[in-house]
Structure 1
Amino acid sequence: MKMTLPLGVLLVCVSCNMHQPPPDKNAIPEALQPNNQSSGELIFSKRSDGNIINALYDEEVKKSASLSALEKQISDTRRIKRDTLALYTDFFAKNDDYYSTAKWMDSTITDSLLKQKIKLLLQKSKQAFEQHSNDLSVLMEDLDAKENTLTDLHTVLKLIVTLPLIEKYQQQNKPAQQPLVMLQHNYTNTIKAIDSITSK
């Protein structure tokens, strides 16, 4: 059964002791600073892979001991899962390989009676294996479901942490209209100048 953490509880957990007072409350996060004023390119951390939300979140992780500890817990959990499941994945892979190969070899038998006899023998063996290993399969499926839940909550966490940052940026860094208005006038005057020549 898939378990989810209520969004409100997650928000409270994140907000508690998350931020240390920054030196400059009005400082623009690095991920939102223009790299080139003319092109409007943005700076992203190497880890963020060009994803502005990941870049903003990574900055917050560096500032927050609780977020940093949580990220380590997430990373450790996934590493332990990967290392633990390697044994079970190999176990099932070898069994699947055996029965697949056996099915192919059975198809090469020319004697129809022998062919049918070994086919039934293999089917019985495979069914017994599936029943014998069903407990492991159920646990692995549950772990996959929990990984999906963890991934979903991790995404929600990033959005909850970074949404206030972009909203603050919107409020404090909205460009003035005047340069656009002046550029609009320049276009209008240039168009009129060309039109006055070409319309004669």
Structure 2
Amino acid sequence: MCRQNFSCVLLLFSTVILILISCKQASPEQDEPKALAEESSSMSIKRMYDIDLTENLYVEIAEKTPELKQLEEQIEKLRKAQEDSTKVFAAYIKKNELYYSSARQHMESIRDSVLKQKTRKLIESSQEKYRLNISRQQELLKTVMQKMNALNDLNESLKINKTIPLIEKYQKEKKPSVKAIEGFSKQLDQVLKLQDSLTKKHEAAMPR
């Protein structure tokens, strides 16, 4: 029942995320995001690359959007619940794997070939029963992982869908003027011209 509820919750949140992604809401007027503030222009290029700008922008949006904030809180709870619900089973599997691995090592130390073969069959038979016994749990675990992966994929897509309008707004409103670059280019031309003139004068004065 617990696993069924978990799967239902995963399906519910996947549906909610799909709705949020496809929803073409008009973006409310808001202050410039802190992640895109002018101070960021003074950062080094390396520091800029170290920043997850998509995540930072999305966090700002989620903090101001109740349904997104609630969604992220519930997804975080799901991730914690996934960890709690699977770690016991993971430990159970690990112990069984460790046992059969060590049992094989002991079996390999048997010198009598007939007894060794009987012991090998005993281990294989026991391991086969164990695998059949946990097949249902393994299948459920696989299904849950697939659903969590789908949820994470949708969540990443949602972050991009919600932050693209912000970066496009930034591109439109904060596009730098070309005047500064044009002015620098003209200064560069003047210095290049002077450099060329001095170089030619120096070459002409050199003895032949």
Work out whether the TM-score is over 0.5: yes
Structure 2 equivalent of residue 170 of structure 1: 171
- Aligned ranges for residues 40-51 of structure 1 at < 5 Å? 50-51=51-52
Shift of 1:32: 1.2
Structure 2 unaligned blocks of 5 or more: 1-10, 202-208
Matched length: 188
Cα distance in 2 for residues equivalent to 1:36 and 1:193? 37
| 2:38 maps to 1:34 | yes
Match of 1:9 among 9, 19, 37: 19
Q: Which structure exhibits the higher relative contact order, with contacts defined as CA atoms closer than 8 Å and separated by 6 or more residues?
A: 2
Shift in alpha-carbon separation, 1:36–1:73, aligned structure 2, 3 A? closer
Shift in alpha-carbon separation, 1:15–1:139, aligned structure 2, 3 A? farther
Structure 2 equivalent of residue 196 of structure 1: 197
Cα deviations by residue, 1:68-127 (Å, 9 ceiling, x for unpaired):
100001100000010111111111111111111101111111111110000001101100
TM-score, normalised relative to structure 2: 0.81
Identical pairs, percent: 30
Q: Is the 8 A contact 2:62 2:69 kept in 1?
A: yes
Shift in alpha-carbon separation, 1:6–1:83, aligned structure 2, 3 A? closer
Give the AA of the match of 1:32. Answer: L
RMSD over aligned Cα atoms:
2.6
Cα distance in 2 for residues equivalent to 1:42 and 1:171? 25
- Aligned ranges for residues 37-186 of structure 1 at < 5 Å? 37=41, 50-186=51-187
Give the AA of the match of 1:28. Answer: E
Shift in alpha-carbon separation, 1:42–1:157, aligned structure 2, 3 A? farther
Q: Is the 8 A contact 2:107 2:120 kept in 1?
A: yes
Q: Is the 8 A contact 2:18 2:154 kept in 1?
A: no
TM-score, normalised relative to structure 1: 0.84
Shift in alpha-carbon separation, 1:8–1:166, aligned structure 2, 3 A? same
